[in-house]
Amino acid sequence: MSGGHTTLTFLGGTETVTGSKFLLEHEGTRAMVDCGLFQRERRWRRQNWEPPSLEAAGLAHVMLTHCHLDHSGYLPALVRQGYDGPIWMSAGTQALTEIVLRDSAQLQERDAEDARKGEYSRHDPPLPLYTVADAEEAIRQFRTLRFDDDAELAGGVGVRLTRAGHVLGSASVTVRLGGAEVLFSGDLGRPSHPLLRARAVPPAAATVVMESTYGDRTHPAPEGEPHEALADVIRRTVGRGGSVLIPAFAVDRTELVLLVLSDLMRDRRIPEVPVFVDSPMALAALDVYRRPELRPELRDDVAPELVHLSHLEAARTSEESMRLNNPRMPCIIIRHPAWRPADEWCTTCGTFSPTVVTPWSSRDTRRQAPGGER
């Protein structure tokens, strides 16, 4: 990219949809937008372990578009490598990224320990990509910016956050450095989100870095009543005494599923059965969505409690989660992590009642720590 002596370097998010990292440099000042983990296939996850392509201590600023691991999950590793500067984001992104990084670090440590005990790693001892202590250090460096404010940071870096409507706190980030102005779209939500206010229009920029994972897909036009396919599955399964298992990402997706279930039960389109959220991380994210100070990000027609389910239950311990493997009654279970393959999901559901699985999984999906153990 031209614009004086300002350069833009892609350190991730190319040839794959994960590992987003973008570096802007001008006369010795360097700023990074997003700092994500590589995920999915092994060949990409291995890149998390490659020697750093930049000197972390030489960065002046890091900005986040949103909380998801493919945009934030490498932050503890960057801090471990020597970055001690501010990490800028919206208030909603700060609250959710704290949850995401702590969960990721715990998984990293647990899987490394499992590999040590099981003696199935090529490394002795197996190491996590980063630790809980690294995640806590990164969180201490978080700083917040308000939407639609033009902030002037140290080193002549200007930044503006524009609401992106993807998840709570998500933003498109405009960075000004050395006379250049670059807009990073981040992940964009649809024009109408069931929970969040619509994305806003960012200021014009000469250079735009656009997320385009689903850019070649068109959502089908809705037909009939909303979510009728899901309602039909629930009615038929519960009617024969079964349970419905819905894998869902903890942040935003679980909240959306709960909202849909609330509406379907309110309108008597599905029977009122217990709904179990089998994910402490999803429950923590739901609490963030309910925070009064973040209410301005939600649509006016969304109730403060977000969901109105009379039989909403939480599995907060491993024992409670294990009991849901064989619920012995008609119910709906929302479970994380959503990257577990479908055959593993089926084995968690017990053998005593029919279960409907509606998963999302990608090719070569595996149940493991998001960054993989070493």
What pLDDT, on the 0 to 100 scale, is given for residue 355?
Answer: 53
Q: What percent of the chain has pLDDT over 70?
A: 88
Q: How far apart are CA 84 and CA 44, in angstroms?
A: 27
For the purposes of burial, counting CB atoms within 10 Å of the CB of 165, is it exposed (0-12), middle (13-18) or buried (19 or more)?
buried
Q: What is the pLDDT of residue 352?
A: 39
For Cα atoms 247, 232, 235, give the angle at the middle one, nearest 5 degrees.
90
The residue ranking higher by pLDDT, 361 or 217, is 217
Q: Are 87 and 139 in contact (CB under 8 A)?
A: no
Q: How far apart are the first and last CA of the chain?
A: 36
Sequence letter at residue 356: V
Q: Hey, what amino acid is at 318?
A: S
Q: Is the pLDDT of residue 365 over 60?
A: no
Q: Supply the pLDDT for residue 181.
A: 96
pLDDT at 41: 77
Confirm if 56 and 112 have CB atoms less than 8 A apart.
no
For the cut 90, the answer to whether the pLDDT of residue 366 exceeds it is no
Instruction: Please report which confidence band the pLDDT of residue 283 belongs to, taking 50, 70 and 90 as the band edges.
Output: confident
Asked if residue 372 has pLDDT above 80, the reply is no
**pLDDT band at 150, cuts 50/70/90?**
very high
How many CA within 13 A on the CB side of residue 67?
Answer: 28
Quick check: 222 pLDDT over 90? no
Residue 244 has pLDDT above 70, yes or no: yes
What's residue 357's pLDDT? 55
Model pLDDT for residues 302-326, shown as the tens digit of each residue: 988 888 898 898 888 878 888 888 8
* pLDDT at residue 367 greater than cutoff 70: no
For residues 89-94, average pLDDT: 98
Residue-level pLDDT at 114: 84
- Ranges of each domain in the chain: 2-209, 228-351
Cis peptide before 337 (omega within 30 of 0): yes
Which element (helix H / strand E) includes 44? helix 42-45
Amino acid identity of residue 48, one-letter, is N
335 vs 219, which has greater pLDDT?
335
Which string of DSSP letters, residue by residue, matches 142-189? EEE--BT--EEETTTEEEEEEE--SSTT-EEEEEEETTEEEEE--S--
- Is the per-residue pLDDT at 180 higher than 80? yes
Question: Do residues 25 and 7 lie in contact, with contact meaning Cβ atoms separated by under 8 Å?
Answer: yes
Using CA atoms, how far residue 160 sits from 7, 44, 157, 252, in Å, is 19, 31, 10, 24
**pLDDT score for 68:** 94
- The structure's pTM equals 0.87
Stretch 123-135: mean pLDDT: 90
> Which position has the higher pLDDT, 160 or 4?
160
Q: Which is nearest to 34 in space by CA: 244, 175, 155, 226?
A: 175
**Over residues 187-214, mean pLDDT:** 89
Question: Residue 284: its pLDDT value, please?
Answer: 92
Average confidence score pLDDT of the chain: 86
The DSSP secondary-structure symbol of 196 reads B
Token pair recorded at residue 179: 């006379």
**Structure confidence at residue 145 (pLDDT):** 98
CATH topology of domain 228-351: Rossmann fold (3.40.50)
Q: Which of 7-21, 26-40, 191-205 has the lowest mean pLDDT?
A: 7-21
* Helical spans, DSSP H, in 198-279: 228-239, 253-266
Is the pLDDT reported for residue 224 higher than 90? no
Between the alpha carbon of residue 193 and those of residues 64, 167, 207, 218, 365, the distances in Å are 21, 9, 27, 16, 28
Half-sphere exposure of residue 368: CA atoms within 13 angstroms, side-chain side: 17
pLDDT at 353 over 70: no
The DSSP output letter for 268 is: T
Report the amino acid identity of residue 302: V
Please check whether residue 258 is in contact with residue 370, taking contact to mean a CB–CB distance below 8 angstroms.
no
Domain 2-209 has CATH 3.60.15.10: yes
Residue 126's pLDDT is what? 84
358: pLDDT strictly greater than 90 = no
Is the pLDDT higher at 349 or at 224?
224
Identify the pLDDT of residue 51.
Answer: 85
366 vs 5, more confident: 5
- Residue 340 confidence (pLDDT): 47
* Predicted pLDDT of residue 275: 95
Cβ(4)–Cβ(176) below 8 Å: no
Q: What angle do CA 229, 339, 334 make, to 5 degrees?
A: 50
